[in-house]
Structure 1
Amino acid sequence: MTTKTVSSTTAQNNFGRILDDVVQNEARYVIKRRSSSQAILLSLADFESLLNAHEGERQQIGSMIRELSPVYDLGEPLEGDIIK
């Protein structure tokens, strides 16, 4: 199983191909917006196996999610969000 990273624009423009890769090759995709991880795309079978995972596996997955999660400071503009 591989995990690939793509921008949200690439994911949008290639959704059919990415979906085929997820379903047929058990790939996972981390989707980024403005260099910040926003979502993950995985197959239904992969999702079901994660739901049925043992506690240790769930903790490992939680650690991976925390590593990928964006961190925002409320009130601080994100880079590129300033309208000029």
Structure 2
Amino acid sequence: MPTSTWNWLAPQAGSAPKRSAHPGRVHVVQGWTTHQTQVLLLTDTEAAAWVTTTAARGPAPRPAPARTCRASGHLHTAQL
């Protein structure tokens, strides 16, 4: 992504990160922080097949809610 586009879309995140050579590796801005993550690169046919297969299995289980520990201030996932 050109630097001017990055600055227009996410000025709060600072300068644009270096482009990755890994296919599907992208940067996501959350608040004031940039996170590198991996995404699926699919053709329209592959995406349609994936959605159809996933929908047939039903909804995925919901993750446990995250809670902030009063003692440490850290974010933890509740164990159910």
| TM-score over 0.5 for the pair | no
Q: Between Structure 1 and Structure 2, whose CA radius of gyration is higher?
A: 2
With a CA cutoff of 8 Å and minimum separation of 6, indicate the structure with the bigger relative contact order: 1
Q: TM-score, normalised by structure 1?
A: 0.26
- Select the structure that is richer in helix: 1
